[in-house]
Amino acid sequence: MRELELKYGCNPNQKPARLFMPQGELPVEVLNGRPGYINFMDALNSWQLVKALKKATGLPAAASFKHVSPAGAALGLPLSETDRQVFFTGDGPLSPLACAYARARGADRLCSYGDWAALSDVCDADTARLLVPEVSDGVIAPGYTPEALELLRAKRKGNYNVVAIDPDYEPAKEETRLIYGIGFQQGYNDAAITGELLENIVTENRELPESAKRDLLLSLITLKYTQSNSVCYAKDGQTIGVGAGQQSRIHCTRLAGNKADTWWLRRHPKVLGLPFLPDVRRPDRDNAIDNYLLLEECSAVLADGAWQRLFTARPEALTAQERADWLKKLRDVSLGSDAFFPFGDNVERAVRSGVAYIAQPGGSIRDDNVIDTCNKYSIVMAFTGLRLFHH
């Protein structure tokens, strides 16, 4: 099949819309549902990300995409009991691929609402069981086991979007697009992201452990498929904060850092112990937790009468001091940037969210200032020499 008709484009007024190949057959097959224009943009971008992660690390990988940027991306490392609680996985069996998706979705559960999921490996039943209860638009993978496909086809009253992609498909060396009726052409971005990019360490501290190398590669590969400007924080084989599509580098760093802080605060004993009513849906729990962690919103969540709709008992508020003390425990975070840091203020903000390792292209006229700021905090920084803009 060379062409697939879509319901409409980015918006309902943008018709007709289609997916097509100028030459050859489409490398994708719709196994269930009717994916739309944006669905396929998310699917194809997220597939490139997880394919690259699997190639770079050898581990199963997953991504949770929203509006052509990842809300989260992760590798298939085992989950701790705290991870299981925070990610709502239950106590059932979890394959490495299921662990990868739990981590990707758990990176930013608020932004993953209505996500598109991407899986580097054949979707198994464990992973499908994680997808079923989540609010999600669809999934792309190189294949599905019969049990997984049966589970997914029953989701959303039988309308859940399930797409298979040929894992051996390689795009043309040049890519073309139209904007305002005018054609653009450029070479496909096939730049390989490997450990060699992390060899040019420019700081006094040069000790880069293997776990940090893995997380830096994860952050850089994630940035390759994130709308620019972008900065990505990563820890323990998963992204914990992605700041996508900002015009200012410091705004990227702040946005992603705030998300990393939220990821860590969700592990605070008070948050883990919130006494939710059993019938409170996952999206409502995520919203309640997010508001509970915002000091200015916490009082509204716990106001007389309001808490009764969510909790079996009125929870104790998380104080500003408790919040600050808990955030000080966040350490050994890795950070990637898709372009150079123009000022040391990015490092100053990053260190507040536990960043100890940084990878960025370098090349600013203020590189010396950025390096000095890293040295101030004993941060290890590598200049990759590779810009990763994506639009």
The residues annotated with a catalytic role in the active site are: 66-67, 229, 391
Residue 320 token pair: 């500003």
What are the distances in angstroms from CA 383 to CA 159, 201, 317, 344? 46, 6, 43, 15
Q: What angle do CA 108, 85, 334 make, to 5 degrees?
A: 45
What are the distances in angstroms from CA 267 to CA 71, 87, 381? 19, 10, 28
| Cis amide prior to 16 (ω within 30 degrees) | yes
Q: From start to end of 160-213, where are the E strands?
A: 161-165, 174-179, 182-187
Among 65, 75, 69, 123, residue whose Cα is nearest residue 102: 75
> CA 174 to CA 189: how far, in whole Å?
9
The values of phi and psi at residue 159, to 5°, are -105, 10
> CA 141 to CA 101: how far, in whole Å?
12
Start-to-end CA span in the chain (Å) = 28
The DSSP code sequence of 247-295 is SSHHHHHHHHHHHHHHHHHTTSHHHHT--B-TT--HHHHHHHHHHHHSH
Among 386, 379, 327, residue whose Cα is nearest residue 353: 327
Residue 246, SS3? Answer: coil
